[in-house]
Amino acid sequence: MALVNLGSASLAVAVPGAATLDLALLDVCNVAAPNVSAQITAAASFSPSIGLDLTQQISLLNQMLANLNAALAAIPPIPTLSLSAQVALAASILVDLNALLALVNAKLAIQVSFASILATAGVEVLAWDGARNALGPALTAERGGATTHSNAVVLYTQSGAAWTAMQALLRTS
């Protein structure tokens, strides 16, 4: 039976799964935010245009006619969007991309908050391996006095800041 002091640590060291989650969330945000920002930049540079006039279309078709007669018969005509439809489509895309970027930024804000909680130091990590009734009077009173083998991890602090961080991460009441 032993109570082993694993040392003083930050919450990220004391709860490694939470630290892994934090890093994964940061990775996702670091990939998504620049991607969405680039899409917004590209969409913002969009300029609507009117299709080629009839004379230009005939000129291009005459140049391609020798090679494309058979293919043109099989391809349906491609509709041309009006300027107002192009502008409406671009505006719709920008609204969607800005909403997506806001969502990514909100997740990044959560990650930054979570990272600061995990960085909080002053937590003693203790590992227990022994009889349930030998860990201490409070645990014995709560769980009963049996000598059943038990294991526990105790996160202990005397720091108010560390306790507040632990309350944000762990169920404490």
| Per-residue DSSP letter, 67 | H
- Looking at residue 61, its pLDDT comes to 66
Is residue 159 within 8 Å of residue 122, measured between CB atoms?
yes
- Looking at residue 67, its pLDDT comes to 59
- Looking at residue 44, its pLDDT comes to 81
The tens digit of pLDDT for each residue in 60-76 reads 667 766 555 555 566 66
CA atoms 101, 120, 5, 159: torsion sign: negative
User: How far is 169 from 27, CA to CA, in rounded Å?
Assistant: 20
- Looking at residue 83, its pLDDT comes to 82
Cite the beta strand spans of 83-168 per DSSP E.
Answer: 123-131, 149-156
Q: Does 78 have pLDDT greater than 80?
A: no
- Looking at residue 123, its pLDDT comes to 92
- Looking at residue 164, its pLDDT comes to 93
- Mean pLDDT, the chain, rounded, equals 83
Q: Decide: residue 57, CB within 10 A, 0-12 exposed, 13-18 middle, 19+ buried.
A: exposed
How many domains in the chain? 1
Confidence of residue 79 (pLDDT cuts 50, 70, 90): confident
- Looking at residue 170, its pLDDT comes to 86
Q: Does 171 have pLDDT greater than 80?
A: yes
The tens digit of pLDDT for each residue in 124-146 reads 998 989 888 888 888 788 877 78
Domain that holds residue 120: 2-169
| Per-residue DSSP letter, 134 | G
Q: Higher pLDDT residue, 74 or 9?
A: 9
